[in-house]
Amino acid sequence: MVELLLDSAIRFWVFMPIVVITFFVGMLRHYITIITAGEKPVDKQQLADSQALIRTRILRENGKYIPKE
């Protein structure tokens, strides 16, 4: 198998800028997504109901391990 050799100038002037640009584009997309998503208003009653359902599901699944005494 032939080993691929890169000249140090090619590595520095081609490969490194591609890596840096890809990194910064990913960061930019991440922060744009966060900014445009915004915060959804939280309905406290719906939140309490969903947490109660989660607690009851966990109790139902793990209730067999709780002693009856």
pTM above 0.85, yes or no: no
Look at residue 66 and give its three-state secondary structure: coil
Answer whether 27's CB lies under 8 Å from 35's CB. Answer: no
Per-residue pLDDT tens digits for 10-57: 878 888 899 999 999 999 999 999 999 888 888 999 999 999 999 999
The DSSP symbol for 35 reads H
How many other CB atoms sit within 10 Å of the CB of residue 20? 10
Answer whether 22's CB lies under 8 Å from 14's CB. Answer: no
Domain ranges of the chain: 8-65
Identify the band that residue 65 occupies on the pLDDT scale cut at 50, 70 and 90.
confident
Distance of CA 67 to the CA centre of its chain: 39
Whole-number average pLDDT of the chain: 90
Which residue type sits at 57? R
